[in-house]
Amino acid sequence: MSAVPAKTTGNGALHAVRFVAPIVVFGAGLLAWELVVRIKEIPPYVLPAPSAIFLTLIKDWAVLSQSLATTLLTTLEGFIAAAIGGIALALLFNQSKWVEYSLFPYAVILQVTPVIAIAPLLLIYLEQQTAVVVCAFIVAFFPVLSNTTLGLNSVDRNLAGLFQLYGASPPQTLRFLKLPSALPYILGGLRIAGGLSLIGAVVAEIAAGTAGAGSGLAYRIAESGYRLNIPRMFAALLLLSLAGIVIYGLLALVSHLVLRRWHESALGKDT
């Protein structure tokens, strides 16, 4: 670090700060939390210390890991359904204005109606696991749909003219022009959908939790709440947060890898 020119050092230091600062804040927060709990002798059913949460995470790992797997599977299924459904619907809208005008309002209604209010109804009509996946789908599909639609409508006019000049068939235009043009938008939509499908899954699990048969992380949180097992609530919450971060990170990574050679969003500032 000391050998590089001053300006680069400044940027490098700034870069390091971006990573180090939140970690320091996190560590300081944990330390303060631990100290407050110990000094004030707060009982764990009111506020567990970070160390207690960590111990619970290890002790209950068998139960929690299974719940994590359940929630992640639901999230994944909801996400895949949202990705396929959102992109397919956007392609359909793009083919026909009639279909778009007929269906788009319903997509919006589905989006703006809080899923927590729909979940109990879905649980009545559908099998529990299906209902949970459908919830995740409902929450996650709209950003994919609207971003893909935006992307498909953002095709360069001259490029479209070029395809027309060379007599491209509709499937050729879709494959070689529209989909690649829309790709950055689709990836942006998927990035949002990843986090939202986790939220959808959790919301549905909470709603279903009172009915009893669930085993996802949100169900664990609800169940531990009834039993006043507060450390386990925190441990489950921690796992949910981590899952959300990993999902976002993975999708951001995929987006970066796919776009890095050509799209402004993925290009380094130094190039």
- Contact residues: other proteins, CB under 8 A: 156, 158-159, 161-168, 172, 176-177, 180-181, 183, 261-263, 267
CB closer to other proteins, 183 vs 238: 183
Q: How far is the CB of 192 from other proteins (least distance, A)?
A: 22
Q: How far is the CB of 131 from other proteins (least distance, A)?
A: 39
Q: How far is the CB of 94 from other proteins (least distance, A)?
A: 18
CB closer to other proteins, 67 vs 181: 181
CB closer to other proteins, 45 vs 262: 262
Q: How far is the CB of 228 from other proteins (least distance, A)?
A: 55
* Both tokens assigned to 227: 């039993």
Please check whether residue 233 is in contact with residue 224, taking contact to mean a CB–CB distance below 8 angstroms.
yes
CB closer to other proteins, 26 vs 176: 176
CB closer to other proteins, 65 vs 164: 164
Count the Cβ atoms, other than its own, within 10 Å of residue 195: 20
Q: How far is the CB of 25 from other proteins (least distance, A)?
A: 38
* Both tokens assigned to 229: 């097992």
Q: How far is the CB of 156 from other proteins (least distance, A)?
A: 7
Give the integer Cα–Cα distance in Å for 217 and 267.
Answer: 37
CB closer to other proteins, 177 vs 196: 177
CA 130 vs CA 5, 31, 97, 126, 169: distances in Å: 58, 42, 32, 6, 39
- Map tokens 């929450």 to a residue: 139
Please check whether residue 43 is in contact with residue 231, taking contact to mean a CB–CB distance below 8 angstroms.
no
- 3-state SS, one letter per residue, for 48-108: CCHHHHHHHHHHCHHHHHHHHHHHHHHHHHHHHHHHHHHHHHHHHHHHCHHHHHHHHHHHH
Length of the chain: 271
